[in-house]
Amino acid sequence: MPEVSMTVNGRLVHSVVEGRTMLVDFLRETLGLTGTHVGCDTTQCGACVVHVNGLAMKSCTMLALQCGGSVVTTIEGLAAFGAPLHPMQAAFRQHHALQCGYCTSGMVMMGLDIVRRLGEPDEATIREELKGNICRCTGYHNIVKAIAAGARAMAAQHK
Amino acid sequence: MRDFVYHRPASLDEARRLALEEGAMLLAGGQTLLRDMRQGRHSPASLVDITSVVPSRIELHDGAITIGAGATHAEVARSVVLRERLPVLADLVGHIGDPAVRHRGTLGGALATNEPAGDYPAACIALGTTVRTTKREVAATEFFVGHCRTVLEPGEIIIDVTFPLARQSAYVKFLNPASRYAMVGVFAAVAQDGSPRIAVTGARAGGAFRWREAETALRAAFVAERLRDVHLSPEGLVEDLFADARYRGHLSEVLACRAVALATGPSRGALVLSHGSQFGPGGRQQLI
């Protein structure tokens, strides 16, 4: 069976995988990083969004082998266990941007990607940017508020 | 999903050789292929990952822009050259899928897949694009040959695609509320020689097509009013849960008018209409 190496949340990992192993299954089953979820399996819902080489991608629609040599960040990589939450995570908590929580890790990872690309976008832009992240509980209002607040907090941090 | 062998060739020649093996398929960004494989639509014996052997550069030359087949949608959408010289294409590509899909999906992959509601095929047909492969150069009008099919032969790989600059151009699509693919999309353009080109996507199962009756009507003057008496027959149009054939025909007519009006107006680009918000040149748009 083929082997793959990549850096996940700052740690170099090396493992044997099948050709068909998706990145999300590699993260969850092989590495035990179960914060990244599988919602739809049809590349629509965004519960599986992680960052690959700094860009938000859907880990259910990438082979683990395609990520050989890549740098992957998952929700677990944003703040160390016991350390203060990342400002985007803190904003999601403060604004109660979740109900069941299933979509949350994908929303946070996409929120960070939105901030990386667009800084502090307006509400309409955030809604458009969330086209590929589906939430079945909240109606999005608090998620949009949280991403805007997270963006502000991150900008303030860099000042 | 059945297991397969994964290859990441180091050269185009090696990729062509591997792609000719029994049961091999080419893998670019994989945003359609991997999804379809999970749903059992394809069961290749091997996947040949060509992302590192096809070019992704975007270059302006002699009144045309050539884009490497490996350029991701995100790269095309933010290209400075495209934003300045062919903003409609950057806009159109900036509304394919969603941001995560655009980080991975590529021009070559989108063309080779030829999804029936794809945005790129409409742009290629309307702009008179040329597709260069490892074997030949093909006009877009001959490249797409039916539902998810192209003229590509086994082992043939798209290298780059050349888009002639248009005098005027715009793209308007109306989203399917569930899939967020175009229910119908219409690309309207006036080529450098002055001829009008109208391409429609999403309306026929066979994929994007040139709407010649609309082009004929626009020959005298490229204004939306010229399309008032042009109708798209519902025969052969897609029917599904969301829209019957008559609705899709009517939507094609309305969007063609909107696209021509946008192409001749002050803010050209792509306009996305849906049941909720509208996005286009200048941000949110009022749905008329």
Please state the domain extents for chain B.
1-51, 168-284
CATH of A87-158, one of 3.30.420.40, 1.10.150.120, 3.30.70.20, 1.10.10.10: 1.10.150.120
Reading chain B (288 residues) residue by residue, the pLDDT tens digits are 999 999 999 999 999 999 999 999 999 999 999 999 999 999 999 999 999 999 999 999 989 999 999 999 999 999 999 999 999 999 999 999 999 999 999 999 999 999 999 999 999 999 999 999 999 999 999 999 999 999 999 999 999 999 999 999 999 999 988 888 999 999 999 999 999 999 999 999 999 999 999 999 999 999 999 999 999 999 999 999 889 999 999 999 999 999 999 999 887 788 888 876 555 554 444 443
Q: Which two tokens stand for residue A54?
A: 């700094």
Residue A45 above 90 pLDDT? yes
Across A48-57, average pLDDT: 98
CATH class of the domain comprising A3-77: alpha beta
Beta bridge partners of A56: A51
Asked if A61 and B8 come within 8 Å (Cβ–Cβ), the reply is: no
Structural tokens at position B115: 């999804």
Q: How far does the CA of residue B269 sit from the closest CA of chain A (Å)?
A: 17
Q: Do A61 and B284 touch (CB under 8 A)?
A: no
**ipTM associated with this complex:** 0.96
Q: Compute the nearest-CA separation of B177 from chain A (Å).
A: 11
- B242 in contact with chain A, both atoms CB, cutoff 8 A: no
In the chain, the amino acid numbered A130 is L
Q: Do B98 and A20 touch (CB under 8 A)?
A: no
Residue A93 has pLDDT above 50, yes or no: yes
CB contact under 8 A, B6 and A131: no
Interface test with A, best of B50, B104, B284 (most A CBs within 10 A): B104
Would you give the distance in Å from CA A66 to the centre of its chain?
Answer: 18
CB-nearest partner of A2 from B6, B30, B104 = B6
Taking CA atoms, what residue in A is nearest to B47? A19
Are the CB atoms for B238 and B206 separated by under 8 Å? no
- Chain CA centroid to CA A41, Å: 16
CB contact under 8 A, B3 and A129: no
**What CATH number has the domain spanning B1-51?**
3.30.43.10
- Domain residue limits, chain A: 3-77, 87-158
Question: pLDDT over 70 for what percent of chain A?
Answer: 100
Say if residues A147 and A91 touch (Cβ distance below 8 Å): yes
CB contact, 8 Å: B286 with chain A?
Answer: no
pTM: 0.95
Which pLDDT tens digit goes with each residue over A8-30? 999 999 999 999 999 999 999 99
- Report domain B168-284's class: alpha beta
Yes or no: say if B109 and B29 are a contact pair by the CB < 8 Å rule: yes
Which of A18, A55, A62 is facing B30, going by the closest CB pair? A62
**Residue B74 neighbours by CB under 8 Å, 6+ apart:** A55, B99, B102, B103
CB contacts of A19 in chain B (<8 Å) are 3-6, 46-47
Whether chain A has a CB inside 8 Å of the CB on B35: the answer is: yes
With 0-12 CB in 10 A as exposed, 13-18 as middle and 19+ as buried, what is B193?
exposed
Q: Whose structure tokens read 């996507």?
A: B201
The span from the CA of A26 to the CA of A63, in Å, is 9
Give the C-alpha distances (Å, rounded to integers) separating B270 from B35, B90, B91, B95, B138.
27, 9, 5, 8, 26
CA B108 distance to own-chain centroid: 10
Q: Residues A73, A51: contact at Cβ < 8 Å? A: yes
CA distance A10 to chain B (A): 22
Rounded to a whole number of angstroms, the distance from the CA of A20 to the nearest CA of chain B is 5
In whole angstroms, give the CA distance from residue A86 to residue B36: 36
Find, in chain B, the residue whose alpha carbon is nearest to that of A1. B5
Tell me whether the CATH fold assigned to B1-51 matches the one assigned to B168-284. no
CB B175 within 8 A of CB B165: no
Integer Cα distance of B47 and B31 in angstroms:
14
Cα end-to-end distance, chain A, whole Å: 49
Q: How far is A21 from chain B (nearest CA, A)?
A: 8
Tokens of B79: 């290209």
Which distant-in-sequence residues (6+ apart) come within 8 Å of B198 by Cβ? B126, B186, B187, B188, B189, B210, B211, B214, B215, B218, B256, B259
Nearest alpha-carbon partner for A138 in A147, A27, B30, A53: A147
